[in-house]
Amino acid sequence: MKKKNFTLILIHFDKEHFGKDFFLLPFYIKQVYDMDVTIVYPQTHLNEDMPTTLRGVKLYPIKHAENKSLNLYFLKVAFYLFKNARKIDVLMTFHIFMRAGKIALLYKLLNPKGKSYVKLDIPIYIADRISAFFNNGGIKAKLKKKAYKSYFKNVDLFSCESTDAYNRLFNDESLAPYFKDKLIILENGCDDQLIGELGVSARGFDEKENVFITVGRLGTFEKHTELFMQALEKTGMKGWKAYLIGPIQEEFKEYIDNFFLRNPHLKENVVFIGAIYDKKILWDIYSKAKVFVLSSRTESSGIVLYEAKIFKNYIVTTPVGASADVVGDGCGCTTDMNDPAVLSDILNSIILGKRKIDVYEGIDITQLYWSNQVKKLNLILK
């Protein structure tokens, strides 16, 4: 029997996405639903060495110079769909905006019987922006809303990553008619097949070390690394260490130098490890650590939070992305986004044993496996 075809069309894709939802969601759809899966993406000189197949998923490049307009890429995608739309049983796109909408609309025009799925990847501030736009009565907004309404009507399933975003889209009077019957929460999962292949697993609490970790692009505006560092200045480490993992922005290196000039006593306790691209090494550090800290100003969902939970870190996070959902079962807490003293108080309470961080008894972390998360897509994939 011929397998059904699932195709994802992206506007950006490179090797760093192999460990993210851009690749992992289609891969696990292939694994769980036994579908023929293709990812279509723009090929530039930056990603021209991509494989044609990865873990059984076909990667189909469309040549497109990175300095060219996205409109030109959409024309090439349109040509691809004219040739292939009727062979595609389920078409997936990312994000709520019309750049995904144009692709979804053309697909449904060419293959009305096909299913369209959009993974919104939507932080609450974007959901708020869409809500404000739909409640705008201006003439220009009315014209744009007409296009968006057509787009939303023609999508068979939407998924978002957090309860906050879900509630905004589901409960807004202007948006609810388009989302109430076809919106689900799909959390970003973890690559359980790779975890098994690498032989990495969550350590018991007694096997863990007195270590705080954070993982991300250190020094970017979004990651707000300075909040964590300012909190560490006010924390009595008492034998604990903090590992900051990820590439360091060039302009942030001076901030780090000044931090250690002010705090030479922390040189042994606060360690900048750099980027770790080997998942076995990275996940082993997660597994050893007791506490994960996220100091971000903004996140779409915060994939690192799910990794931290899989490896049973107590999670301390700013209120961003899906953080409320991640720590809602008691596996962590939230901290103030702007006041390092609040974060420092939490860290000190952990070090002094005043805050319980051995919290994973009764929490089923396997629900965060991608192999389980994709089963929520039964509505369009079964």
Same domain, residue pair 167 and 186: yes
The C-alpha atoms of residue 350 and residue 8 are separated, in whole angstroms, by 44
Residue 70 pLDDT > 90: no
Range with lowest mean pLDDT among 161-175, 183-197, 229-243: 161-175
* 129, 211: one domain: no
Please tell me which residue, 16 or 348, carries the higher pLDDT value: 348
What values do phi and psi take at 128, rounded to 5? -65, -40
Residues contacting 133, CB < 8 A, separation 6+: 141, 144, 145
Q: Do 295 and 308 belong together in one domain?
A: yes
**pLDDT on residue 30:** 97
pLDDT at 66 over 80: no
166 lies in the same domain as 256: no
- Residues 128-181 have pLDDT tens digits of 888 888 887 777 778 888 999 999 999 999 999 999 999 999 898 889 999 988
Question: Percent of the chain beyond pLDDT 70?
Answer: 100
In terms of C-beta distances under 8 Å and separation of at least 24 residues, what long-range contacts does 106-110 make, across chains too?
106/78, 106/81, 107/81, 108/154, 110/81, 110/82, 110/85, 110/86
Residues 185 and 305 reside in one and the same domain: no
pLDDT of residue 304: 93
Q: What is the pLDDT of residue 116?
A: 97
Q: What is the mean pLDDT of residues 326-338?
A: 96
Burial readout 325-343 (b: 16 or more C-beta within 10 A, e: otherwise): bbbeeebbbbbebeebeeb
Give the pLDDT of residue 379.
80
At residue 154, the 3 state secondary structure works out as helix
Average pLDDT for 315-341:
95
Same domain, yes or no: 254 and 334: yes
The whole-number average pLDDT for the span 310-323 is 95
Number of structural domains the chain divides into = 2
pLDDT of residue 252: 96
Tokens at residue 114, please?
Answer: 């096909």
Region 282-298 average pLDDT:
97
Segment 290-319 shows an average pLDDT of 93
Whichever domain contains 33, its CATH number is 3.40.50.2000
Same domain, 157 and 56: yes
Whole-number pLDDT of residue 22: 95
pLDDT at residue 186, rounded to an integer: 95
Same domain, 29 and 159: yes
One domain for residues 176 and 220: no
- 109-121 tens-digit pLDDT: 999 999 999 999 8
The pairing of beta strand 53-54 with beta strand 57-63:
antiparallel
Same domain, residue pair 261 and 314: yes
Q: Which residue range is the domain that position 117 belongs to? A: 5-191+369-381
CA dist 335 to 12, 221, 311, Å? 33, 18, 21
The one-letter amino acid at 339: D
Please state the rounded mean pLDDT for residues 76-100: 95
Note the pTM of the prediction, 2 decimals: 0.91
Query: So what's the pLDDT on residue 83?
Result: 97
Reference 176, options 162, 187, 166; nearest CA is: 166
Same domain for 62 and 181, yes or no, is: yes
Percent of the chain with pLDDT over 90: 80
Whether 350 and 256 share a structural domain: yes
CA 380 to chain centre: 22
The pLDDT confidence band at residue 381, using thresholds 50, 70 and 90, is: confident
pLDDT at 140: 77
- Residue 233's pLDDT band, with cuts at 50, 70 and 90, is very high
pLDDT at 377 over 90: yes
Other C-beta atoms lying within 10 Å of the C-beta of residue 48: 9
Tell me, what's the pLDDT at 42? 94
Looking at residue 283, its pLDDT comes to 97
